[in-house]
Amino acid sequence: MPRLPLGQWVDNTVDWLQAQFSWLFDAVTSLVTGLYDGIDAVLSAPQPLLFAGILAVVAWWLRGLSAGVLAFAGFAVVDSIELWDDAMSTLSLVLVATLVTLVIAVPLGIWAARSRTVSAVLRPVLDFMQTMPAMVYLIPGIIFFGVGVVPGIIATIVFALPPGVRMTELGIRQVDGELVEAAEAFGTTPRNTLLRVQLPLALPTIMAGVNQVIMLGLSMVVIAGMVGGGGLGGAVYRAIGNVDIGLGFEAGISIVILAMYLDRMTGALGSQVSPLGRRAAAKAHAARVARTGAKIWGHRPQPVTALVGVVILALVAGGMGFLGGGSATTASGKNTGHGKKISLGYIPWDEGIASTFLWKELLERRGYEVDARQLEAGALYTGLAGGQIDFQTDSWLPVTHAQYWEKYRNKLEDLGSWYGPTSLELTVPSYMKDVNSLADLKGKAGQFKGRIVGIEPSAGMMGILKDKVLEDYGLEGEYEVVDGSTPGMLAELKRAYDKKEPIVVTLWSPHWAYSGYDLKKLQDPKGSWGKGDGVHTLARKGFAADNPEVGAWLKGFKLSEKELTGLEAVIQETGKGKEQQAVRTWLDRNPGLAERLAPQ
């Protein structure tokens, strides 16, 4: 059976599309970004609690007093766990995705309902869109639209579109044929038949579709976080990357609160906007009142009252946002950056986190506005090549990250190595007495349960391990390389180490694990891992020319092993989510270092 180069074709098509239609993708990017920024600005402007109040009034109007109180409580929780801004970003992302989805899905659904051919053509396309794992859209999404919210939104749209189209089509198709015929028999035009009969009657179903679109959109936010979508998804992704259970739970519960609010509100809205639903709700309400007597918890204000409430709160919120918007961050030391924005990207490797937050702190001290985003390695390089990321400090060249370098070398600028040489290895605890070399692993799969505990599948060393090392030592088929994450691998190592169980992990030097545990690097007599890498700083093409000072600082950037492991250790001690604070502590302990790295 010859190999069908399907992936190659898709790859070529994507390259071709990118070359031919970059103007289109740029237009889409600026449109979606504009929408997102606009909505996000509106949502983030008011004081969190005031905005929670607005949302609560809406809930009160749509579902009653208890819903309003619960909504307020839920959003107050989000605010108190300091995820408000992330929640608003996520809400904006979901709203933009929903808006665009509906603008596409409803007309498509109507079209499909009126034409069997369209419906038949659309069905497999929708199946494809819905069942293709959503992460797959992210790869071309990043290439077309760059990292950030746009590929996340686009992937969300692609993923959420099918139920929107399907429910619209279903809603219209299930309108009683006799009613449509009656409309036609009285001479109604097709347009009016749609507007006056089919759509009003299909509305409950269409609103159920809207609800599903929103829910699918929310389920996509974590995936959007992997490509720099930020918001709660970013927080969840960060938490996963750092095995930060606390942050993961907080971000997760925020998503749940948001999801419940949106679900209940769209559900209630569905019955509010459709005349049939309004009648059913009124009937149910009357029946309830008749049975149990009016209850304060079920009280719902008149739409006018609710509207006035929302407007007053919004005005107050707007006024406060306007008055409160005057404060600005002040830079210590000489202000070289004048608030110029610099975007950093990093993969959650320890030396990457350390150097990224070091530079974030240094640049902020010099007056720049720095944004550091955790990304998948693939997304990081694509974003760098696309210019959405200005630089990153954790590129292992020439070996580990060679594939990315090869792919994007024309669009990247190598600002030199700041640490080296490094080495990659498989490592076992020292208590594994009879395993000293890679060759010793052969035939011991049973002992290790056939597993080599790996890190992120996108990491360059994982590629080398699977493609070269296992083959050279004849370990293919005997061992399975478990894809995971660096923190996952470290957690597994700790667990096994504490119980003195056999384990073999992928590891690299420098790494704080070598000082934390008694470990043994497996020898590589065949040299399969290749020579040691240097840790390079890569910038987008033209970054150094645009920012000569920063370019010069980065080119001169060097850390010794002692400095690096020292910084990593402080970050480990200080704890997750406080990296920048750790950097400050470390800089305080090493006076003069800031001046050396970023001379004024």
Partner 1 sequence: MSRLQADHLYKVFGRRPDEAVRELAESGADRDALRADGTTAAVIDASFTVEPGQIFVVMGLSGSGKSTLLRMLNGLLTPTAGRVLFDGRDLTALSDRELREVRSRKISMVFQHFALFPHRSVLENAAYGLEVQGVPRAEREKRAAEALELCGLAGWEKSWPDELSGGMQQRVGLARALATDADLLLMDESFSALDPLIRRDMQDQLLVLQQKLKKTIVFITHDLNEAMRLGDRVAVMRDGRIVQLGTAEDILVRPADDYVASFIQDVDRTRVLTAAAVMTDGTVEPGDCPPGCGCRSVLPETPLAELCTVAARSLHPVAVENADGEVLGVVAQDRLLGVMGGLDADLRPTTPTGAAASTAVPGTHAAPAPTGDPAAQEAAEAPAAPRVPRPAASVEASAGDGEEVTARA
Binding mask 198-227 for partner 1 (x = CB under 8 A): --xx--------------------------
- How far are the Cα atoms of 72, 84, 156, 456 from residue 95, in angstroms, in the given order? 20, 16, 11, 31
* Least Å from the CB of residue 273 to partner 1: 12
Stretch that binds partner 1, among 74-82, 185-193, 363-371, 459-467 (CB under 8 A): 185-193
One of 33, 44, 47, 188 touching partner 1 (CB under 8 A): 188
Stretch that binds partner 1, among 83-91, 180-188, 235-243, 307-315 (CB under 8 A): 180-188
Say which residues have a Cβ less than 8 Å from residue 2's Cβ, sequence separation at least 6: none
Q: Is 172 an interacting residue with respect to partner 1 (CB under 8 A)?
A: no
Paired tokens of 88: 């608003």
Q: Is 23 an interacting residue with respect to partner 1 (CB under 8 A)?
A: no
Question: Please, is 150 exposed, middle or buried when counting C-beta atoms within 10 Å of its C-beta (0-12, 13-18, 19+)?
Answer: buried
Nearer to partner 1, 147 or 207 (CB): 207
Buried b (16+ CB within 10 A) or exposed e, 410-419: eebbebebbb
Q: Which DSSP state fits 194?
A: I
Mark residue 500 as left, alpha or beta (left: phi above 0; alpha: psi -120 to 50; beta: remaining).
left
Nearer to partner 1, 276 or 308 (CB): 276
One of 2, 124, 187, 477 touching partner 1 (CB under 8 A): 187
Beta strands in 295-430 (DSSP E): 341-346, 369-374, 391-397, 412-419, 423-429
Q: Is 186 an interacting residue with respect to partner 1 (CB under 8 A)?
A: yes
CA–CA gap between residue 589 and residue 600 (Å, rounded)? 20
Q: Is 195 an interacting residue with respect to partner 1 (CB under 8 A)?
A: no
Buried b (16+ CB within 10 A) or exposed e, 475-486: beebbebbebbb
Q: Is 284 an interacting residue with respect to partner 1 (CB under 8 A)?
A: no
* Least Å from the CB of residue 196 to partner 1: 8
Neighbours of 281 (CB within 10 A): 15
One of 184, 518, 546, 573 touching partner 1 (CB under 8 A): 184
Nearer to partner 1, 130 or 188 (CB): 188
Paired tokens of 57: 């009034």
Stretch that binds partner 1, among 130-138, 152-160, 206-214, 269-277 (CB under 8 A): 269-277
Say which residues have a Cβ less than 8 Å from residue 325's Cβ, sequence separation at least 6: none
Mark residue 509 as left, alpha or beta (left: phi above 0; alpha: psi -120 to 50; beta: remaining).
beta
Nearer to partner 1, 189 or 590 (CB): 189
One of 125, 182, 260, 545 touching partner 1 (CB under 8 A): 182
Nearer to partner 1, 178 or 498 (CB): 178
Q: Is 274 an interacting residue with respect to partner 1 (CB under 8 A)?
A: yes
Which residue(s) pair with 371 in the sheet?
A: 343
Paired tokens of 200: 């009003």
* Least Å from the CB of residue 282 to partner 1: 11
- Angle (nearest 5°) at CA 324 between 318 and 326: 125
Q: Is 197 an interacting residue with respect to partner 1 (CB under 8 A)?
A: yes
Nearer to partner 1, 256 or 286 (CB): 286
> Phi and psi for 442 in degrees, rounded to 5?
-60, 130
Q: Is 181 an interacting residue with respect to partner 1 (CB under 8 A)?
A: yes
One of 8, 115, 189, 523 touching partner 1 (CB under 8 A): 189
Q: Is 174 an interacting residue with respect to partner 1 (CB under 8 A)?
A: no
Q: Is 178 an interacting residue with respect to partner 1 (CB under 8 A)?
A: yes
Paired tokens of 202: 């299909």
Site for partner 1, rule CB under 8 A: 176, 178-179, 181-189, 192, 197, 200-201, 274-276, 279
